[in-house]
Amino acid sequence: MSAGPLALVGDGEWSEQCTFDADLLADSGGREVTVLLTAQAYEQPELARSRAVAHFDRLGAKVTVVDALDRRGACDEEQAARVRHARFVYLASGSAMHLLSVLKQTPLWDAIVAANADGAVVAAAGSSATVLCADMVDPRGGGFGVGLGLVRGLSLIPRYEQWSTEKSRRTIQMAPKGLVLAGVPASSALVRGRDGRWSAAGADGLRLFRDGHPLELAELDR
């Protein structure tokens, strides 16, 4: 079985502009979305939950929230089993560093990886999307750290339209040699399909770079 679709969303998830969610839901083959609010633990998890429920209700889907705001939740085998058998897993935006510290080397992270490998759709928004990358852009300063590694050879700048020209230039220059860096605006996504090919979805403004130079989307699959 081929790996499931992977959507790296720039931010602003679960808004009316995120029309690609309907396609992701259809591709999952189900009518349920399993949501992780881990990155929202110290922000507004209940508000994020309400937005997710309302958004997917409009699309005719039910939202199930996994209780994993800390390491204890991420190490809970029952919670991990729910994610392992999910067909559509969505990680909310929020604190990248909290998400990384909670998920790293846990049954919950293993479940996300295994579910995607078996064909489940996985989506992550904003700074949470950067955590899925092996080379993670640190939103605090624009440098690079070590992420969880579900995505290799590519990293992203979330909310790219909000980054200053100077900060973007610095991050592009600091990117490891050969790494593709994607500037993904809010309400848009870079999506890897079941065939392994990448496509852009949602709002315009996606920008790709490699070794400091602009890159066309079609070149990602070469």
Q: What's the mean pLDDT when you consider all of the chain?
A: 95
pLDDT band at 221 (very low <50, low <70, confident <90, very high): confident
Give CA–CA dist 184/9, Å, rounded: 7
- Cβ atoms of residues 28 and 34 within 8 Å: no
pLDDT band at 175 (very low <50, low <70, confident <90, very high): very high
pLDDT tens digits, one per residue of 59-78: 999 999 998 999 999 999 99
Residue of 126 and 222 predicted with greater confidence: 126
Domains recognised in the chain with CATH numbers? 6-221 (3.40.50.880)
Say what the pLDDT of residue 140 is.
75
pTM: 0.96
Find the DSSP H helices in 41-178. 45-58, 71-74, 77-84, 96-103, 107-117, 127-131, 165-174
Element (DSSP H or E) covering residue 85: none
Say what the pLDDT of residue 40 is.
97
Mean pLDDT across 180-193? 97
pLDDT band at 1 (very low <50, low <70, confident <90, very high): low
